[in-house]
Amino acid sequence: MKKKVLICGAGGFIGGHLASYLLKEKNFDIICVDIKPLEFWFQIFDKNKNYSFDLKNYENCLSVSKNVDYVFNMACNMGGMGFIENNKAECMLSVLINTNLLRASKINNVEKYLFSSSACVYNAARQNKSFVPGLKEEDAYPADPEDGYGWEKLFSERMCRHFSEDFGLETRVVRYHNVYGPMGTYGGGREKAPAALCRKIINAKLSNQNFIEVWGDGNQTRSFMFIDDCIDGTIQVFNSQFKNVFNVGSEQQVSINEMIAIIENIAEYKVNKKYLLDKPKGVMGRSSDNTLIKKKLGWNYKFSLELGLKKTYDWIYKDIVDGVNNKKFTRS
């Protein structure tokens, strides 16, 4: 018999790609849930059962997880640095989603549960310089995560751990490092740096402008993971026998200025940079250390930043020029 899978946050970026992947596997009956109205889902598939529900509500969690075998929790209120720094309470309210989904999964005897965490859980003291060493899973403690969003993710990781220890619910946790790629938000306030910078350079090129605005001084560094690697790593962690928290990310750390140069080469268009030093920029440096996931699962990322940005740039360019889905992917 087919396994019944619940994808929470399926109308979002990662959830939509996960739904697409599992649909191709043909071994699952898939239930997709997101708080957004269906017309605003980034990807939607008629073969799946699709519902618009607020999963902060326990009764909704209990209903959609009934007779479900697997739960993938990708649902949270989040965005780029500008959004999470200015909406801390809203981000922390996502703790209700994971808490109520775990409670419902216990009641409904769910077989396995995956929680999507974030590199924002890591201790800020390890991220105060550019080009810092990659962060290992144990570097989340002693706890000093990103205020708001990071605390919610770290607390929810521990909820998964304790539901596993106390109630026997099989849980898996992945810590994503800056996921990007096609079919994601590129405007409206929730977009992350790769999509935002692609959009800015595309618009500058189309309007013949010679500059773009950059938040911070451009020296802050990150590693960015292409969406295909994200889905591959997620599935491998979910299918594994290990209950560890795993980094799922790229180890290719670049500065924002270096990423702009890569996008300029893709666009074949050079821009000047107007640095906005009063804008949110987050920690100075952050990158993934994949030692544990390589050792335990043999997984590593495959897409270079150059290749992933090319695919992302081409998709955003086409969407902007065509204007067909523009409102969907730039809404806040």
pLDDT tens digits, one per residue of 291-313: 999 999 999 999 999 999 999 99
Cis previous bond, 142, omega within 30: yes
Mean pLDDT of 79-92: 92
Whether pTM > 0.75 for this model: the answer is: yes
Please, which pLDDT band fits residue 81 given cuts at 50, 70 and 90? confident
Please, which pLDDT band fits residue 327 given cuts at 50, 70 and 90? confident
**Full DSSP string of 36-83:** S-GGG-SS--TTSEEEE--TTSHHHHHHHTTT-SEEEE------SHHH
User: Considering only CA atoms, which of 172, 179, 157, 160 is closest in space to residue 17?
Assistant: 179
Distances (CA, A) of 25 to 19, 50, 174, 244, 251: 10, 18, 21, 26, 29
Distance, in Å, from the CA atom of 83 to the CA atom of 33, rounded to the nearest integer, reads 23
pLDDT in tens, 59-74: 999 999 999 999 999 9
CATH number of 181-222+253-284+304-330: 3.90.25.10
The answer to whether 3-179+225-248 and 181-222+253-284+304-330 have equal CATH topology is no
Active site residues: 149
What per-residue confidence (pLDDT) applies to 328? 76
pLDDT in tens, 198-233: 999 999 999 999 999 999 999 999 999 999 999 999
What per-residue confidence (pLDDT) applies to 330? 77
- Each domain of the chain, given as residue ranges in start order, spans 3-179+225-248, 181-222+253-284+304-330
Mean pLDDT of 74-83: 91
SS3 28: strand
Q: Please give the mean pLDDT across all residues of the chain.
A: 96
What per-residue confidence (pLDDT) applies to 1? 80
pLDDT higher than 90, residue 137? yes
pLDDT higher than 80, residue 188? yes
Residue ranges of alpha helices (H) inside the chain are 13-25, 58-64, 81-86, 88-92, 95-107, 149-167, 193-207, 227-239, 256-267, 291-297, 305-322, 326-330
Please, which pLDDT band fits residue 332 given cuts at 50, 70 and 90? very low
Distance, in Å, from the CA atom of 325 to the CA atom of 42, rounded to the nearest integer, reads 9
pLDDT in tens, 25-65: 888 999 999 999 999 999 999 999 999 999 999 999 999 99
Mean pLDDT of 313-320: 97
Percent of the chain with pLDDT over 90: 93
User: In Å, how far from its chain's centre is CA 259?
Assistant: 19
324 CB-near residues (< 8 Å, 6+ apart): none
SS3 211: strand
Mean pLDDT of 324-331: 73
Per the listing, tokens 């180890």 go with 251
What is the fold, at CATH topology level, of the domain defined by 3-179+225-248? Rossmann fold (3.40.50)
What per-residue confidence (pLDDT) applies to 331? 57
pLDDT higher than 80, residue 264? yes
